Amino acid sequence: MAEGQTIKTPELSNSAGWMPPASIIWALVVAFVALIVYLSSDFVLLLLLSATVAYLLNPIVKIAEGAMIKRKVAVTVIYLGFGVAFLLTAYFVFPRLRTEVNTLSGNLPFFSQRFDEAIDALQNQIVANYPAADSLFTTREVRYEKLNNFIEQQVADLPALLSHLATIVLAGVLIPFFSYFFLRDSRRIVQFVLDRLPANHIETSVAVWCEIDRSVGRYLRGLAIEGIVVGTAAALGLAILGVNYPLLLGVVTGLANVVPYLGPIIGGATAILVTLVQFKSLSVIAQVVVLYLSLKLLDLVVIQPLAVGKGNDLHPVLLIASVIVGEHALGIVGMVIAVPTITILQRIAKLLFERRRYPTQMLDSHLNNRVQSQPYVC
């Protein structure tokens, strides 16, 4: 057919056979996912964590794919590499970490007594400097009772904690297993979904997928880099200050950093608690506070812009609101996934509204002016 010729608009063929309306399919998919989440939140959490690991490793696989290496081979080599790295870490770092954990658990029975002594010493220091502050403190008996109640509560929760420990060990085995297959087959899964989407919605679907991929990938990779850098810096800083268990506290700080807003406070509070019991001195606690504030500043000014970049451009109010809602819905996990979830929803809404807005606002003026436009640019 010659160019410039006019043709009758062809009927859109639908050779894939009869399909129910897209809205019904999507409603069924959403209902199915909600049912799975409701029935087995632990399994969903496991899948989410596996997908997170896959996301973190995906850029390395893409580099290999760009060098024309088979995805399966690249993923296997990466897992072998990480296995070797894990064994090396276990060989060099774990013995020291285990010593710290053993010492800490050995000292736990005396912890409440030492903590009480430390609080006393601290109160005395403060009252000696500011006598008026005496009225602010509770008596030793009241404090002792509160502390004992707290410890009893924790001991009562121990069986539940042990069952969680079993889940954690199981997760340690299952997450690498699931993430391996996620990583290996992610391209095939995306392809499967793409091939089944309505043809004229592919562009928007690809756009939505890419935005989700970018937002989540950037956020998770940023979070991982942030956790590693902040945790390492905290461990180094605490070791320099002479605080006990620097490695363990560094790990706690790095892991806690994953939780927005609350995480750095948890990390800092743990370090301050250990410092309080060890030194019973306000000046060292002040040094630890300065260390954690400096770390937060370093995180905000250097690490986040470099690692996360322009990954999330959410309004701070929306960000905090999403974290609060996430905490109410799913606890700590909800807080962690709140930010990427709200970012995804925001991007999707933006893309879909853009698609709806176009025909009404821009198409008319565009079609009216097309006489002046170029012949076949699209």
Partner 1 sequence: MARWRWLEQVTDHEQVLRLKLLGTVPLFAGLSRRQLGKLLVKFFEREYLPGETIFLEGEPGKALFIIIAGQVSICRALNEEEELLATLTAGGYFGELALIDDQPRFASARAAEASRLLILYRSDFEDLIEGQRTLAIHVMGNLLKTLAGYVRKSQSQRNGRNSTIVEQASENPGMISKGVSRG
Return residues touching partner 1 (CB under 8 A).
1-13, 15-16, 62, 65-71, 73, 190-191, 194-195, 199-200, 202-204, 206-207, 209-211, 214, 354-355, 358-359, 362-363, 366-367, 370, 373-378
Cβ closest to partner 1, residue 67 vs residue 166: 67
Question: For residue 274, what are the contacts with CB-CB under 8 A and spacing of at least 6?
Answer: 243, 244, 245, 249
> Dihedral of CA 171/175/34/308: which sign?
positive
The answer to whether 194 and 206 have CB atoms below 8 angstroms apart is yes
Instruction: Give the separation between CA 299 and CA 282, rounded to whole angstroms.
Output: 25
Report the residue number, 104 or 197, with the smaller CB distance to partner 1. Answer: 197
Least Å from the CB of residue 348 to partner 1: 13
Nearer to partner 1, 171 or 212 (CB): 212
Dihedral, 343, 347, 350, 352 alpha carbons, nearest 10? -130
Minimum distance between the CB of residue 299 and partner 1, rounded to whole angstroms? 23
Which C-beta is closer to partner 1: that of 181 or that of 192?
A: 192
User: Measured between alpha carbons, how far is 264 from 276 in angstroms, rounded to an integer?
Assistant: 18
For residue 85, the minimal CB distance to partner 1 (Å) is 21
210 vs 236, beta carbon nearer partner 1: 210
Q: Which is nearer to partner 1, 18 or 38 (CB)?
A: 18
CA pair distance 185, 287, nearest whole angstrom: 49
- As measured in angstroms, the least distance from the Cβ of 5 to partner 1 is 5
Residue among 34 and 363 whose Cβ is closer to partner 1 = 363
Tell me the C-alpha distance between 58 and 78, whole Å.
10
- How far is residue 131's CA from residue 110's CA, in Å, rounded to a whole number? 30
Minimum distance from residue 56 beta carbon to partner 1 (Å): 17
- Whole-number Å distance between alpha carbons of 117 and 121: 6
Q: How far is the CB of 363 from partner 1 (least distance, A)?
A: 4
Minimum distance from residue 199 beta carbon to partner 1 (Å): 4
Question: How far apart, in whole angstroms, are the C-alpha atoms of residue 323 and residue 195?
Answer: 35
Instruction: Give the separation between CA 181 and CA 72, rounded to whole angstroms.
Output: 9
